Amino acid sequence: MQSANMLLKKIVRSSVLPVAAQHGMKRDLFPLSRTLSLSLCLKQDNSCKPSEKLDLDAWKKVMKSGLQEEVSETVSEPQELSGLAAARETLEMWRLAGKSVPENVSEEQLKTFMECPSKSAKKKYLKYLYLKELYKKNDKRKMEEKRERRLEAQEQTSKTDEIQKSPFLCLWASTMDKAYNWRAAQSMIFGQPLVFDMSYEKDMSVREVANAVKQLVQSEGCNRRAVDPFHIHFCNFKDDSLYHKEFLKHYKEAWGKLLITVTEQCYTEIFPKDKLIYLTADSPKVMKTFDHDKIYIVGSMVDKSIKTGVSLARAKRLGLETAALPLDKYLLWNTGAKNLTLDQMMHILLTLKDTADWKKALEFVPKRKYCGFVNKPVSELKKTLDLVNTLKIGKRREELQKQFAKNYPKKYKLK
């Protein structure tokens, strides 16, 4: 260290240093303006520099020393790992590396992970699991917070208030259930049928089927709560299909008690063909009014990759009438596909059935997909737009002709 200091001092005195300083040496290390204070500064450095110098690789020692005991354990362990364990190990390392990987992975999930065909598919699946875990955790935390707040509130009220008297027993949930079920039962006898076509399992991935079933569960729920519910039919429904498995996951033992019709038959076998209308976004025909005598069919399909014309093909094959919602007529469409989720369809159809008001019904189209409602029909708007455009183009054409004449004056004269 001493010799190093000497060297530094020499360098400082020699004429090379100003150049070196220009090349980016730190001024606070070598305050050149005051050569007198330099020696003092170096002395101060002397006090702290050695420790700093030693420090730089200290982390390696710490890491290595911490290992000694562990290493002796791990080395004796046999290195061979089975496929699943190795996969679990990889996941753990990815999690340590800060990738979106869930903390807890079940055996089943691990197997799906290993079956993913590509690296990106694996990453996607892990991210999905990670987000799912995150949402679950957040929900749990919120629930706990809520419980604590409730307990606090209860303590406060129990101190101050006595029990209030009321003419009704507090039995809201179960009585409502009964009322809903009564209505649903009525709909099974007198209600207008609404068919969900369950024949799309082949066209969907496992995730898509799961999503479709989730949407169906939601639509069934909102139908049950409606004033005048539909009589829901699940047609082309096969036992032991993926659909069935997913439904059992959601409903558990309630699946057998649902007030809907589930059948393996096709809708064409149950209802007269001329009464059926297949609802599909690809249909060239646009629905004008809701017909209470018709039976509408909705394909239970979630289509994340764009497969156009699948449900239209099905309707074509059976020779059924098709219709699409008049989205373009009433909404200024912004972004997104025109196919809606099953529960949105359910809401729209229920509202149409009750009110026949398109504006009210189409409130259920997600807000992000459209800019606003149209007062005038879109066709008229388009006409004015076309007019504006033709005027613009007409002007442009004149300009072009002028330019052309300018560029080729001779040719024009020759003509």
Partner 1 sequence: IQPPEKPLQSEEWNRLRENFQLPEIFEEVMLNSMIRCNSPIDVAKSLLTHVAKRNGDIAYNVLVKYLTLCVQQGQVSEICDVYDIMKARFKILEIGAYNLFIKGLSNSDQWKMALTLLEEAKKMMIPSRTSYESCIKAASCHQEMKLAFELYHEMLAKDVVPTLDVLQSFFGFSRGMNGAELQKELFGILFYLRDNQIYPHKTFMQSIKLWFESIPGRKWRGRLTNIKDSGQCPVCNRQLEDSNLTEEEYNNLSERIIRDVIHGTDTFRKTSPQEFEAFQTFVENQLPFDIVIDGLNVSHIKPRKMHCENLLDAINCLAKDNVRLLVLGRKHMLINSSNWKREIMKEMQTKADFFFAENISEDDAFLLYATLRSGKHCKFVTRDFLRDHKACLSDSLTRHLFRKWQRGHQIVLKAMFFSVFSQQPAFQYDCVVQTTGDTWHIPYKDVFEEKYSYRVPRKWLCIQQK
Residues forming contacts to partner 1 in the complex (CB under 8 A) are 26, 48, 52, 55-60, 62-64, 66-67, 70-71, 74, 86, 89-90, 93-94, 96-98, 119, 203, 284, 308-310, 312-314, 316-317, 390, 393, 397, 404
What's the burial of 402, exposed, middle or buried (CB within 10 Å: 0-12/13-18/19+)? exposed
Q: Please, which residue, 283 or 344, has the CB nearer to partner 1?
A: 283
Least spacing, CB of residue 145 vs partner 1, in Å = 21
Which has the closest alpha carbon to 289: 277, 301, 297, 271? Answer: 277
Closest distance of CB 53 from partner 1, Å: 9
Task: Considering the complex, state which of residue 34 and residue 119 has its C-beta at the smaller distance from partner 1.
Answer: 119
Residue number with CB closer to partner 1 (67 or 153)? 67
Instruction: Provide the CA 361 distance to its chain's centre, in angstroms.
Output: 24
Shortest separation between residue 239's beta carbon and partner 1, angstroms: 25
Minimum CB distance to partner 1, residue 38 (Å): 18
Identity of the residue, 95 or 329, whose beta carbon is nearer to partner 1 in the bound complex = 95
Give whichever of 15 and 407 is closer to partner 1, judged by the CB atom: 407
Half-sphere exposure of 266 (CA within 13 A, CB side): 13
CA 380/CA 377 separation, integer angstroms: 6
Q: Of 19 and 96, which CB lies nearer to partner 1 in the complex structure? A: 96
Q: Where are the alpha helices (DSSP H) in 161-277?
A: 172-190, 206-225, 242-251, 267-270
Q: How far apart are CA 283 and CA 275, in angstroms?
A: 17
Q: Which residues contact 181 (CB under 8 A, 6 or more apart)?
A: 224, 259
Looking at the Cβ atoms of 158 and 384, the one nearer to partner 1 is 384
| Least spacing, CB of residue 90 vs partner 1, in Å | 6
Question: Residue holding tokens 């025909």?
Answer: 285
CB-based contacts of 276, cutoff 8 Å, min separation 6: 195, 267, 268, 294, 295, 297, 320, 321
What is d(CA 146, CA 73) in angstroms, rounded to the nearest whole number?
46
What's the min distance (Å) between Cβ of 185 and partner 1? 38
Minimal distance, residue 337 CB to partner 1, in Å: 16
Q: Beta-carbon neighbour count of residue 262 at 10 Å?
A: 18
Nearer to partner 1, 99 or 359 (CB): 99
Q: How far is the CB of 46 from partner 1 (least distance, A)?
A: 15
Is residue 217 within 8 A of residue 248, CB to CB? The reply is no
Nearer of residues 312 and 323 to partner 1, judged by Cβ? 312
Q: Which residues pair with 71 in a beta bridge?
A: none
To the nearest whole angstrom, how small is the minimum distance from the Cβ of residue 407 to partner 1?
Answer: 11
Amino acid identity for residue 144 in this structure:
E
The kind and range of the H/E element at 195 are strand 193-197
Residue 236 Cα distances to 2, 241, 262, 263, 307, angstroms: 91, 11, 9, 6, 21
**Least distance between partner 1 and beta carbon 360 (Å):** 31
Residues in Cβ contact with 201 at an 8 Å cutoff, skipping those fewer than 6 apart: 209, 241, 242, 243
- Judged by beta carbon, residue 55 or residue 253, the one nearer partner 1 is 55
The structure tokens 């149950």 sit at 270
Contacts of 113 (CB under 8 A, 6+ apart): 87, 91, 105, 122, 125, 126
